[in-house]
Amino acid sequence: MAEMQTRDEIFPATPNKTYALMELVKRSTPSVDRGPDDTVMSWPNLVLPVTLLAIGTTLFVFVVSLFLNAPLKEIANPDVTENPAKAPWYFLSLQELLLHMDPTLAGVIVPSIVVLALIALPYLDHARAGSGVWFDSARGMRISLIVALGTLLLVPLLVLLDVPMVKVGENLVTLRHAAFGQTLLGAIIVPLAAMILPLALLLLILWRLRATTREIALALFTVFVIAAATLTIIGVLFRGPGMQLFWPWAMPAPH
Amino acid sequence: MNSNGTLAKTTHFITHSRVWKSFFRHAYPDNDLDRALVMNTNFLLHLMPVKVSRHSLKATYSFGLGVISLFLFVELVITGMLLMFYYIPSIERAYSSMLDLQFSVPLGLLFRNMHRWGAHAMVLAVALHMVRVFYTGAYKPPREFNWVIGVVLLLLTLGLSFTGYLLPWDQLSFWAITVGTNIAGAAPLLGNQIRLFLLGGPEVGQAALLRFYVLHIMVLPPVLLAIVSVHLWRVRKDGGLARPEEGKS
């Protein structure tokens, strides 16, 4: 047997040894998929930074808490509506969507699609290459940057297109309302088109570029992250009484 | 004998004493054998591997966001337990217990501040952790399922923050939860039932406060803790932090 010869060559059996190499097996090392690589002892190379992070995180929260008090307004009163009544900041992107479309679409369908897409992501982009590398490649980084810039411009533009600017009788209403009113077209089809058409255009460009699955994932995730961040910033800093848009420095006091 | 000698002698005496060894099981790890042993014989350290890749240690690779999220959670559990000694989840007394915490309980204001800002920081840290994992492609095989667990942990973090948001029972919390649960109420078919289930009634009231309180202190934290444990275990079992194939870094 070839293996027997190899074994005896590598580790010849000698009668004065109480141990011997029993078998050579072709398989991966305990570190999944790789041989022994560029490693150092965890003590102290990993233990020290983790300990410093623990101390640093606690110290940071402690120092902020010394100087900044958590907000506490008047006691809850169901009869006096807060104006503006804002959800916690991490839900303000959803609340912003609610201003522009049907509540089922904004509050249920869009967030459900986002969560399902996030869960499906590793099963759709399952090539092992590129794991552990920021942005996959120079091209991946370029795609992410361009998509981020585009989203950063497009999202505020779409929000501004939907502010009340048309006079109908006594009221100032949005272009969308003036054209379609509270119809299926105005509440669902037009907002849906405003979200899907730019995404479709993006996918078409990526397809023409022969983008890899990872590059498509990079582009779509960047749209999601930048859009969510932009809508959150608009909600936190730019929405005032009546959920109208104001400059942060000209924000009227809530009433 | 100079003071250095005394210090060395004292250190040696302490780290070789019966009590020290019973606690740490061996002397201070100053050689590779002890450095390896300490990682397996210490309960907290055994979460980490004996050896770790240099690539995973680079600050600009992970930014330590997962570790930061974990320690924010620990800090929130500790400050949260302290707040529980004073907070009463009743619409008549919740707000006045907040005022007590702010103005008459020693360090009450500090611990409430730490709980509030720590909670905001945790939502941010967990979200940034997900962004980091995405852009480094760390969700790729064999780590697919740990990414899914991570998405669940993000949702649990949001749930914890949201349920805690109502507890001060001030105008800010009342109307934020009213707006937030109205979003859930917009779901087709089951929307109203989901809202009713969350609030225990048609409006944000005593039933809602109690439900959010129980979810916030009794239900979600143990669930999060259990799933975080699986998350960390999977990090180890999937081979540590993702890193490029050898020779391609």
Which of A60, A72, A102 is the mutation pick for testing B, counting most B CBs within 10 A? Answer: A72
Residue A39: closest CA among B108, B7, B39: B39
pLDDT mean across residues, chain B: 92
Query: Which of A125-129, A153-157, B3-7 has the highest average model confidence (pLDDT)?
Result: A153-157
* pLDDT above 70 (res A27): no
B188 closest CB neighbour out of A66, A77, A104 = A104
List the single residue in B with minimal CA-CA distance to A92. Answer: B180
Prediction ipTM score? 0.91
10 Å Cβ neighbour count for A227?
A: 21
**What do you get for the CA distance between the two ends of chain A, in Å?**
88
CA of B80 vs chain A CAs: smallest distance (Å): 14
Q: Got the DSSP string for B131-149?
A: HHHHHTTTTSTT-HHHHHH
The pLDDT value given to residue B122:
98
Tokens of A28: 């991966």
Determine contact: A241 vs chain B, CB below 8 A. no
Peptide bond between residue A84 and the one before it cis (omega within 30 degrees of 0): yes
pLDDT in tens, B113-131: 999 999 999 999 999 999 9
* Greater model confidence, A62 or B11: A62
Three-state DSSP state, B108: helix
CA–CA distance, A226 with A151 (Å, rounded to integer): 6
**CA–CA dist A49, A194 (Å, integer):** 46
In this complex, is the C-beta atom of B48 within 8 Å of any C-beta atom belonging to chain A? yes
Instruction: Output the six-digit token pair for B82.
Output: 């302290």
Contact A28, A34 (CB under 8 A): yes
Whether A77 and B171 have beta carbons less than 8 Å apart is answered as yes
What is the arithmetic mean of pLDDT over B2-30?
A: 83
A179-199: average pLDDT: 89
Instruction: Please tell me whether residue A15 adopts helix, strand or coil conformation.
Output: coil
pLDDT at A37: 65
The type of residue at B38 is V
Q: Do A88 and B161 touch (CB under 8 A)?
A: yes
Task: Suggest the residue from A68, A86, A90 to mutate for an interface test with chain B (most B CBs closer than 10 A).
Answer: A90
Q: Which residues pair with A166 in a beta bridge?
A: A173
Q: Check if B200 contacts A (Cβ < 8 Å).
A: no
How does residue B249 score in pLDDT terms, banded at 50, 70 and 90?
very low
pLDDT of A122 higher than 60: yes
Between the alpha carbon of residue B24 and those of residues A40, A212, B18, B224, the distances in Å are 22, 51, 10, 29
pLDDT in tens, A198-218: 999 999 999 999 999 999 999
Domains contained in chain B, CATH given: 61-237 (1.20.810.10)
Residue A29's pLDDT band, with cuts at 50, 70 and 90, is low
Q: Flag whether residue B49 sits within 8 Å of chain A, measured between CB atoms.
A: yes
The verdict on B18 touching A (C-beta cutoff 8 Å) is no
State the nearest Cα–Cα gap between A113 and chain B, in angstroms: 13
Q: Residues of chain A with pLDDT > 70: what percent?
A: 88
Q: Would the pLDDT of B248 be above 70?
A: no
Across chain B, where does the E strand assignment appear?
Answer: 51-53
Residue whose entry in the numeric block shows the structure tokens 């990090």: B235
Which residues of A, range 58-117, sit inside 8 Å of B by Cβ?
Answer: 58, 60-62, 64-66, 68-78, 80-82, 85-91, 94-95, 98, 103-104, 106-108, 115
Buried b / exposed e over A160-195, threshold 16 CB at 10 Å, is eebebeeeeeeeebbebbbeeeeeeebbeebbeebb
Distance from C-alpha of A205 to C-alpha of A152, rounded to nearest angstrom: 18
What percent of chain A has a predicted confidence (pLDDT) above 90? 65
Q: Is residue B76 within 8 angstroms of chain A, CB to CB?
A: no
**Residue A45 at interface with chain B, using a CB cutoff of 8 Å:** yes
User: What confidence category does residue A7 fall into, taking pLDDT thresholds of 50, 70 and 90?
Assistant: low
Closest alpha carbon to A101 in A44, A154, A159, A61 = A159
Of A39, A74, A107, the CB nearest to B186: A107
Predicted local distance difference test score (pLDDT) of residue B25: 81
Query: Which has more pLDDT, B248 or B81?
Result: B81
Return the CA Rg of chain B.
23
**Given a cut of 90, is residue A195 above it in pLDDT?**
yes
- Give the one of B55, B59, B162 whose C-beta lies nearest to A132's C-beta: B55
Read off the pLDDT of residues B56-103 as tens digits, 9 standing for 90 and up.
999 999 999 999 999 999 999 999 999 999 999 999 999 999 999 999
Please say if the pLDDT value at position A182 is more than 60: yes
The pLDDT of residue A30 is 56
Tell me which residue in B35, B184, B241 faces A41 most closely, judged by beta carbons: B35
- Cross-chain Cβ contact A72/B168 below 8 Å: yes
Q: Which of A50, A107, A118 sits opposite B151 (nearest CB)?
A: A118
Q: What is the distance between the alpha carbons of residues A23 and A12, in angstroms, rounded to a whole number?
A: 12
**pLDDT value for A1:** 46
For range B145-156, the mean pLDDT: 98
* Domain positions in chain A: 89-246
B186 contacts A103? CB cut-off 8 A? yes
List, in order, residues 6 or more apart from A206 with CB less than 8 Å away.
A143, A215, A216, A219
A168, A178 Cβ separation under 8 angstroms: yes
φ, ψ of residue B202 to 5 degrees: the values are: -75, -25
- Looking at residues A185-205, what average pLDDT do you find? 94
pLDDT of residue A11: 66
Q: Out of A43, A76, A129, name the one closest to residue B173 (CB).
A: A76
For chain B, give percent helix, strand, coil, nearest 5: 70, 0, 25
